Amino acid sequence: MERPSVDRQLGAEAVAAPAGSAPAIEISDLRKDYNGFLAVDGLNLTVPQGCFFGFLGPNGAGKTTTIRMLTGLAIPTSGTIRILGLPIAEQGFEIRRRIGIVPDDSLLFDHLTGFEYLQFVGRMYELTRSIAKERSQELIDLFELGSEPRKLVGEYSKGMRKRLAMGAALIHRPQLFLMDEPFEGVDAVGARLMKDILLEQVRRGATVFLTSHVLEVVERLCDRLAIIHRGKIVLQGTLPELRAQAEEGARSLEDIFVHVVGAERSTPETLSWLGSP
């Protein structure tokens, strides 16, 4: 069966930002202190509208904490955040109307079906009941979640939960997507579909800000990147700009990433028992 058209699902009209519009994200001197531990330490970052932005870093670098502050789920210790030109401290409600979120831990309502959950999200974004129902069904079909319509979200696999979260992020046609490891646990077919949808949204003028540990995916998708390490931005720019800033011979994003965040680590000695016959 042919999948529903993404154009039909989300509407064909462009969502491009007007010329001279504010950046999608402006972060200035952002800090988050957890009882003396600076998870984010003086972050400065600007993400222009209409770009596919990769936010990279090792485990514990501050990526998820940053996204939680961007979505309003965590309050900064200090610093400022502006989303689509609006200050998050004063305009948080309006900002949340304009963004779509795929959280790392897929915070969904486990006691609803996928269809019920999408309808609920659509209504929360003030879609009419009929439009919320129509879009929910199209998203269920698009992400192939309809084979067991009475299955509760709590019984979904991790990949199914990610696809459902992606559908919920899309349903109101946001201007900005904030995505924490959106492809984690998703099979190759589902991941390809998600990538195609996101690329199409960027072509229409939306902005995608994502974290991912799959550097090959980030390298193919993103036109701008930043690497965070120990709560600080250590490198940012386009991939050619990152290559110019990294060591000579670092060509792939993996080479650049390992050089920047792993330079202080010595090469471990081979464990003797691994070499034993």
Establish if 1 belongs to a structural domain.
no
Question: Please, what is the average pLDDT of the chain?
Answer: 88
Confidence check: pLDDT of 1 > 60: no
* pLDDT computed for residue 13 by the predictor: 45
What pLDDT shows up at residue 40?
96
d(CA 92, CA 79): 15
Average pLDDT, integer, range 156-177: 95
- What is the per-residue pLDDT for 245? 77
Give the range of the structural domain holding residue 50, as residue numbers without chain letter: 21-262
Structural domain includes residue 89: yes
Residue 66 lies in a domain: yes
As for how many domains the chain has, the answer is 1
Residue 168, C-beta contacts closer than 8 angstroms, at least 6 positions apart: 100, 108, 117, 118, 121
Question: Which residues lie closer than 8 Å to 86 by C-beta, 6 or more apart?
Answer: 94, 95
Taking only the tens place, the pLDDT of each residue in 202-250 is 999 999 999 988 898 899 999 999 999 999 999 999 988 888 877 666 6
CATH code, 161: 3.40.50.300
Name the pTM for this structure. 0.87
Condensed to tens digits (0 to 9), the pLDDT of residues 40-53 reads: 999 999 999 999 99
12 is a domain residue: no
Place of tokens 């072509």: 203
Q: Counting Cβ atoms within 10 Å, is residue 5 exposed (0-12), middle (13-18) or buried (19+)?
A: exposed
Domain assignment present for residue 15? The answer is: no
18: which strand partners? Answer: none
CA contacts within 13 A on the Cβ side of 12: 2
Look at residue 198 in the predicted model and tell me its pLDDT: 95
Question: In this structure, how many other beta carbons lie within 10 angstroms of the beta carbon of residue 151?
Answer: 15
